[in-house]
Amino acid sequence: MGKDVIIACDFASREATLQFLDRFTGKKPFIKIGMELYYAEGPQIVRDLKARGHKIFLDLKLHDIPNTVKKAMAVLSRLDVDMTNLHAAGTRAMMEAALEGLTRPDGTRPLLIAVTQLTSTSPEAMEKDLLIEKPMEQVVMHYAKTAAASGLDGVVCSPLEAEAVHGACGKGFLTVTPGVRFADGDKGDQVRVMTPAQAKAIGSDYIVVGRPITAASDPVAAYERCLSEFVG
Ligand code: C5P
């Protein structure tokens, strides 16, 4: 898989998701399904969207003991998703177990991406709630390196961190980056943002774009614009 735009389908129901995707006649965007939609509709929504021809990033951010994550990953692998994720905070043992669980009998598996520190966690919360006293950037890079050493394919990170992650973990280690906005668009609640063109220049491998596409008056045109700025 090469550089691509992943649409964050942050919808509450199957109906709203299909209504949105029906606008993309003839096109099959790579889509991200998150906790809200998955927990509302269950695994069938993944099977149905796969059957419609979409690539799927299943964003469930697993974090549990290695054995439980391994078994859960085997279930997600059988759903034939293309990419899924976990929290690097679950440790190397959990990440290695996850990879084992994801690997199908024929040796293939979905891409596995780690979440480092959630962007919603402030340095103050890290220190007070988690007793992590190192600087945020150092923590994020350490988690990324541990994920790479565990055999994972990449991390979710800010486009602003993509270059440093590639520097620390190699060019082939994927950076999947949310926080993307058009230069003339609304930032919403995202603070540190980049345009698709900037994300491309800095070396992001995949951009995850939600509201700039889902809330656009013409979502298909907004998606095409993202693709042409980021990929083409
Ligand atoms: O609508 P917007 O483009 O902000 O959506 C970005 C998507 O990426 C959402 O699904 C959000 O949950 C996800 N995300 C993020 N920041 C992170 C990790 C995930 O915005 N650090």
Residue 85 pairs with which residues in a beta bridge? 113
User: Is it the case that residue 175 has pLDDT exceeding 90?
Assistant: yes
Tens of pLDDT along 38-73?
Answer: 999 999 999 999 999 999 999 999 999 999 999 999
Rounded to 10 deg, the angle between the 123-130 and 136-149 helix axes is: 70
| C-alpha 105 – ligand 1 centre gap (Å) | 33
CATH number at residue 11: 3.20.20.70
**Number of neighbours of residue 111 by Cβ within 10 angstroms:** 19
Strands (E), 71-198: 83-87, 111-115, 154-156, 174-177
Tens of pLDDT along 95-105?
Answer: 999 999 999 99
What pLDDT is stored for residue 2 in this prediction?
74
CA angle 140, 31, 89 (to 5 degrees): 25
The pTM of the full predicted model, rounded to 2 decimals, is: 0.96
Give the Cα separation of 89 and 143 in Å (integer). 7
What pLDDT is stored for residue 189 in this prediction?
83
Tokens coding 211 = 């509201």
Residue 17: partners with Cβ closer than 8 Å, 6 or more residues away: 9, 11, 37, 45, 49
CA neighbor of 181 nearest in space, from 197, 194, 172, 171: 194
Could you give the C-alpha distances from 137 to 130, 217, 229, in angstroms and in order? 16, 37, 28
Concerning whether 50 is annotated as a catalytic residue, the answer is no
Nearest CA to ligand 1 atom 19: 178
| C-alpha 78 – ligand 1 centre gap (Å) | 25
Number of domains composing the chain:
1
The range of the structural domain enclosing residue 127 comes to 4-230
What pLDDT is stored for residue 15 in this prediction?
97
| C-alpha 128 – ligand 1 centre gap (Å) | 25
User: Is it the case that residue 1 has pLDDT exceeding 80?
Assistant: no
Task: Map residue 86 onto helix, strand or coil.
Answer: strand
Tokens coding 223 = 């998606």
Residue of 5, 10, 181 best suited for mutating to test ligand 1, as the one with most atoms within 8 Å of CB: 10
